[in-house]
Chain A
Amino acid sequence: MIIFAFIRRACMQGVPLLYGSTGEIITEKSGHLNLGIPGIMYMGAIGGIIGGFFFEQTGADFSLWYIKLLAVLIALTTSLLFSCLMGLIYCFLTVTLRANQNVTGLALTTFGVGVGNFFGGSLIKISKADVPTVTLTKTSSCFATHLPFVDKVSQLAEEGRCPMVVSEICSTLFSYSFLAYLSIIIALIASHILMKTRVGLTLRAVGENPATADAAGINVNRYKYISTCIGSMIAGLGGLYYIMDYATGVWSNNGFGDRGWLSVALVIFSLWNPSLAIIGSFLFGGLYIVHNYIPNLTMQAQELFKMSPYIMTLLVLIFVSIKQKKEALPPAHLGQNYFREER
């Protein structure tokens, strides 16, 4: 039954990646390569922590259902605010001031991690903890709430009243928190909007050729701003999920790892299609932790396994560039700022 445990962990690993890459795909479709995604996800995480921390500090009674709901909403709001702010900074610099996108994005990653660590360190100091972590067990448990019948089924299985396999499958499919399911729903909605609606058509046009979109009467900058900010907020949710559910509400500085960069790689892997990113994220999640499930691995071998998602991305890149299928290529004006009256 270790295979089910592995799948469950892989899916949980995949959720932050899915949020990150869905957000980045939406941003990139507008022609903006936001390399600030790791920083934005980090900010999304610390935003949730800050909201949750001060709400827990008020000493509210977490046994009440509406307090639980309020805790989730507050952490969600602060997280979204932080990541949206990052998106706005990126937009202001690259869309309005037309700064170089790569430089801005990388600076934003550094900035996001720095600000996150600053607030993280401050909260650790306020909470006067012995270990250098902030622990939000109560808020985390609200986020981690999953469907009640999963527990009942596993209880039945332990009592021998239903087969073990049924319980395992049940918990593999239904044991996650709402943010995990939300990530898939958002990816599917994003996919639908991009490919099947007028807004999606317009957004893709902006990323493919902003001059054309402009001539067609589309407000290019508004599309760039909105898609980048929405993309950032979705990516920020990835940070929130990671910290509240996967890390069970324990914040330690620099604890996020290279999930942000994995998300950016996943964008390429999924060929700018959020539906493919769903599969890709769980695959990447699995590859990211598979070394824990292979016995007797040396440290070196573990690191090699951690590398595998990036190798997969490289293989996809090679494959795509051999096939030269136009639809599988990045938006044509990705990374290039647009200025209408440039001659």
Chain B
Amino acid sequence: MSEPTAASVSETQASVTDNTPVIPAIELRNITKTFGDVVANSGINLSVYRGEILSILGENGSGKTTLMNMISGIYYPDNGHILINGEEVMIRSPKDAFRYRIGMIHQHFKLIDVFTATENIVLGLNDGKYDLDAYEKRVREICDRYGFLLDPRKKIYDMSVSEKQTVEIIKVLFRGADILILDEPTAVLTPQETTRLFDVLRNMKKDGKSIIIITHKLHEVLSLSDRVSVLCKGRYIGTVKTAETNESQLTEMMVGEKVDLNIHRSEPVNTEVRLKVEGLNCKNPDGIPVLKDVSFEAKCGEILGIAGIAGSGQRELLEAIAGLQKLDSGAITYIHPDDGGTEDLRNKSPKQIRELGVRLSFVPEDRLGMGLVGNMGIIDNMMLRSYRKGHGLFLNRSTPSSLAEQIISELQVVTPNAKTPVRRLSGGNVQKVLVGREIAAAPTVLMAAYPVRGLDINSSYLIYNLLNEQKEKGVSVIFVGEDLDVLIELCDRIMVLSSGQVSGIVDPKATPTRANTMKEEIGLLMTSKVANPSENHKEEQHG
């Protein structure tokens, strides 16, 4: 299957790093892959040496994941060569990839919910007798060696995101992988979990493993990797040593132009309380409390950030305000901007809330599930919010279609036309359509859950600017985010949720000395147990 090739090319590559073996563990030459008319990768060259961490940096849709899928055998390249230890190989299937000791940890975990950790780890292996107890022992050994915390018998559906990731990593180590590819591994982790993961990765590097990490978080690239390869729109831009580069150079390589990485935060003006939430309690269908005595105020003209580990009640909180979640107790009071009149929103349906004259916009985290209809075009998705306004037998399409065209041009949505089903758009473009529609409804309260999840730098900043614009217009913005750096830069106040409770409200506009410790402080609040809820209110007043 593999044939020897001239080593001369490898030797020229070796000059990139000092003190590394001459032959790269894996080398890609001129890789090209197209899906129909879309060129996902064209002419990509990269190499990774043993005991090295290489970052692959690129915006969304720049072809990072496609490229890695070709190394791990999910896709097959249309053109180009893959060399492992200097020998050309063909990776036709994931099985081939295992044979060459390549292991990929996907962005979306590829785990079977109803299986235990061990069952997932041994799935697809074929090494003699099927003995789960023996396998469990080997899993424990790997855990001990690298310092993972994992119960091999735990079912996946009982696991946290970080535990699932651990299973994924052990899965490839169990197969003796020497080349590990991690696709956006930190997107779902808390700062503490990220630090732990990086420690583990550094241990593996010391062990002589080659690690490729896909990311678009610049500070991670700089803190972790030895070299960075940058992709842009499916093309290979170049590789630089991390020690010799900086954020602005990398960004420039990534997007082809200079981008201002500072979020402009204006001082809130004319703030008054728009939404008052008091003592919310609710349970999930299994009867487990997901919100416990949550109280806060959202003011107009400011951005209230909500931080917390995924699943700490953020979703339920927003849904409760939007009228989609039944509450056990508590009150949600909306204060009209014009006359100061109040409305009780508790346990009202979204339609009832709208009829009260409350202009509430909601960008849910599940874009294609709750936010948009995947099989409909942008125009039809615009109509979802306005169809009740029409009179007569036939739908009025002209207003929504001009709105659609406006969103496409203002937010630079990449789409063949306004009628293309939105599920065919990339994640960032789907998000732009959704945010554009919600903002077009001229809300007084705008709630956005993870609006930049999976978006590249350019699109993310576009969304941040949109949120800032709304804030300056006097909208009360509630922003649920996962990137603490962004939360700290963007929000006027940050409320931290921990297992359904408010563990603290912090003011990110504090003095610079405090700003340095802000991230750790929020990180601790995210995992802390709330002892006495009344203390939080005090803290709020201080902030």
B341 within 8 A of A: no
Q: Which of A204, A217, A324 has the most CB of B within 10 A?
A: A217
A324 proximity list for chain B (CB < 8 A): 285-286
B114 and A218 contact, CB distance less than 8 A: no
Chain A 322-336 near chain B by CB (<8 Å), digits 1 or 0: 001011010010000
A198-B130, A341-B35, A343-B35 known; A213+B113 contact, CB < 8 A: no
Interface residues in A290-343 (C-beta closer than 8 Å to B): 324, 326-327, 329, 332, 340-341, 343
Nearest residue in B to A217 (C-beta to C-beta)? B95
A208 within 8 A of B: yes
B75 within 8 A of A: yes
Give the Cβ gap from B13 to chain A, nearest Cβ, in Å: 29
Chain B 281-315 near chain A by CB (<8 Å), digits 1 or 0: 00001100000000000000000000000000000
B74 and A216 contact, CB distance less than 8 A: no
A332 proximity list for chain B (CB < 8 A): 113-114
B95 and A326 contact, CB distance less than 8 A: no
- Report how far A329 CA is from B113 CA in the complex, Å: 11
Interface residues in A173-218 (C-beta closer than 8 Å to B): 196-198, 201-202, 204-205, 208-209, 211-218
A216 and B113 contact, CB distance less than 8 A: no
Interface residues in A94-144 (C-beta closer than 8 Å to B): none
Which of A196, A213, A327, A340 is close to B123, meaning CB atoms less than 8 Å apart?
Answer: A213
- Report how far A340 CA is from B130 CA in the complex, Å: 28
B112 and A217 contact, CB distance less than 8 A: no
Tally chain B residues at the interface, Cβ within 8 Å. Answer: 27
A208-B112, A208-B114 known; A215+B94 contact, CB < 8 A: yes
Nearest residue in A to B157 (C-beta to C-beta)? A326
B112 and A212 contact, CB distance less than 8 A: yes
A209 and B110 contact, CB distance less than 8 A: yes
- Report how far A198 CA is from B123 CA in the complex, Å: 8
- Report how far A198 CA is from B113 CA in the complex, Å: 17
B111 within 8 A of A: yes
B124 proximity list for chain A (CB < 8 A): 202, 205, 213, 216-218
- Report how far A197 CA is from B75 CA in the complex, Å: 30
B94 and A326 contact, CB distance less than 8 A: no
- Per DSSP, chain A at the interface is helix
B94 and A217 contact, CB distance less than 8 A: yes
Nearest residue in A to B99 (C-beta to C-beta)? A217
Nearest residue in B to A327 (C-beta to C-beta)? B114
- Report how far A216 CA is from B115 CA in the complex, Å: 14
Give the Cβ gap from A175 to chain B, nearest Cβ, in Å: 38
- Report how far A25 CA is from B178 CA in the complex, Å: 39
B114 proximity list for chain A (CB < 8 A): 204, 208, 326-327, 329, 332
B95 proximity list for chain A (CB < 8 A): 217
B98 within 8 A of A: yes
A197 and B130 contact, CB distance less than 8 A: yes
- Report how far A341 CA is from B93 CA in the complex, Å: 12
Interface residues in B101-126 (C-beta closer than 8 Å to A): 104, 106, 110-115, 119, 122-124, 126
Interface residues in B127-147 (C-beta closer than 8 Å to A): 130
- Report how far A212 CA is from B164 CA in the complex, Å: 13
- Report how far A324 CA is from B157 CA in the complex, Å: 12
- Report how far A216 CA is from B119 CA in the complex, Å: 12
Nearest residue in B to A198 (C-beta to C-beta)? B130
B113 and A326 contact, CB distance less than 8 A: yes
A205 proximity list for chain B (CB < 8 A): 112, 115, 123-124
A218 proximity list for chain B (CB < 8 A): 123-124
Nearest residue in B to A214 (C-beta to C-beta)? B94
B126 and A198 contact, CB distance less than 8 A: yes
Nearest residue in A to B127 (C-beta to C-beta)? A198
A208 and B113 contact, CB distance less than 8 A: yes
A205-B115, A326-B155 known; A212+B75 contact, CB < 8 A: no
- Report how far A196 CA is from B119 CA in the complex, Å: 11
A-B contact pairs, 10 of them (CB 8 A): A196-B130, A201-B122, A202-B124, A204-B112, A215-B72, A215-B106, A216-B94, A216-B124, A218-B123, A326-B113
Extra contacts, 6 of them, besides A198-B130, A217-B124 (Cβ < 8 A), are A197-B130, A201-B122, A209-B111, A215-B94, A215-B110, A217-B95
Residues of A within 8 A of B (CB): 196-198, 201-202, 204-205, 208-209, 211-218, 324, 326-327, 329, 332, 340-341, 343
